[in-house]
């Protein structure tokens, strides 16, 4: 079983998709050992608790600054024995020391087809607002490995989603989540976990 830590900041629908996929056997060889949020109000924390998964909240404010926050985050990952770190709607810029420590073992879901509508400032609804402004007919989601840039790491999986006449940023965000994110992220985790297990055989 590969130990997975999930980092969240908000509602946690992607976390839920991961937990459901594990329960349904769609993700094999993985267990979520910890859910870590930088936002005390994140509903994702409730989802973790309901599932009996240890949930911790680490905030910059409580830590007293960025350096202490980064150290606390790294410690939380080490303490839970994470072998794979999944950013599921996580709004924290992952510090370099963590990226180096977990090189190639941190993945992120981004709600567009990278390299479109990604990079600094492209998060949440903003991504979909920009896609609509540009008038693209197709958008989607991307799962990629996290490197030291913003949304620049190697792409693992992508899925296209149609933009429809009359879409609002909210309706498009919902369709991208339903048709792409909730499918893609569990699929990527299953891919990594099954490969990790078979390559260790
Ligand atoms: C999702 O669109 C995710 O891609 C983005 O944040 C949104 C909310 O995710 N980064 P969740 O419901 O908290 O999983």
Ligand 1 contacts CB of residue 11 (under 6 A): yes
User: pLDDT tens digits for 98-131?
Assistant: 999 999 999 999 999 999 999 999 999 999 999 9
Binding residues, as ranges, are 12-14, 60, 108
Superfamily of domain 2-200: Formyl transferase, N-terminal domain (3.40.50.170)
The number of the ligand 1 atom at minimal distance from the alpha carbon of 176 is 2
* pLDDT at residue number 112: 98
Is residue 133 predicted with pLDDT exceeding 90? Answer: yes
* pLDDT at residue number 201: 53
User: pLDDT tens digits for 14-43?
Assistant: 999 999 999 999 999 999 999 999 999 999
Residue by residue, DSSP assigns the chain as -EEEEEEESS--HHHHHHHHHHHTTSS-SEEEEEEEES-TT-HHHHHHHHTT--EEE--HHHHTSHHHHHHHHHHHHHHTT-SEEEESS--S---HHHHHHTTT-EEEEESS-TTSS-STT--THHHHHHHHHHT-SEEEEEEEE--SSSS-SPEEEEEEEE--TT--HHHHHHHHIIIIIHHHHHHHHHHHHHHHHHHH-
The rounded Å distance from CA 198 to ligand 1 centre is 30
User: pLDDT tens digits for 190-201?
Assistant: 999 988 665 555
Ligand 1 contacts CB of residue 14 (under 6 A): yes
CA distance 3 to 34: 9
| Assigned token pair, 46 | 């409730």
Mean pLDDT of 162-179: 98
User: pLDDT tens digits for 65-107?
Assistant: 999 999 999 999 999 999 999 999 999 999 999 999 999 999 9
Ligand 1 contacts CB of residue 181 (under 6 A): yes
Average per-residue pLDDT for the chain: 95
Per-domain residue ranges of the chain = 2-200
* pLDDT at residue number 196: 66
* pLDDT at residue number 195: 85
User: pLDDT tens digits for 154-166?
Assistant: 999 999 999 999 9
């Amino acid at each position: 079983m590969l130990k997975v830590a999930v980092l969240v900041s908000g509602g946690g629908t992607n976390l839920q998709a991961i937990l459901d996929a594990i329960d349904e056997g769609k993700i094999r060889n993985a267990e979520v050992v910890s859910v870590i949020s930088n936002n005390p109000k994140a509903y994702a924390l409730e989802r973790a608790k309901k599932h009996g998964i240890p949930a911790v909240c680490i905030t910059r404010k409580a830590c007293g600054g960025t350096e202490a926050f980064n150290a606390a985050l790294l410690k939380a990952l080490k303490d839970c024995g994470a072998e794979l770190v999944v950013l599921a709607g996580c709004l924290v810029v992952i510090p370099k020391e963590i990226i180096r420590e977990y090189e190639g073992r941190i993945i992120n879901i981004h709600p567009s087809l990278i390299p479109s509508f990604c990079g600094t400032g492209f998060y949440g609804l903003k991504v979909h607002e920009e896609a609509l402004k540009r008038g693209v007919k197709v958008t989607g989601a991307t799962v990629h490995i996290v490197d030291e840039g913003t949304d620049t790491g190697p792409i693992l999986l992508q899925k296209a989603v149609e933009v429809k006449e009359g879409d609002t940023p909210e309706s498009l965000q919902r369709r991208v989540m339903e048709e792409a994110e909730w499918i893609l992220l569990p699929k990527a985790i299953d891919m990594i976990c099954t490969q990790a297990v078979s390559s260790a055989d």
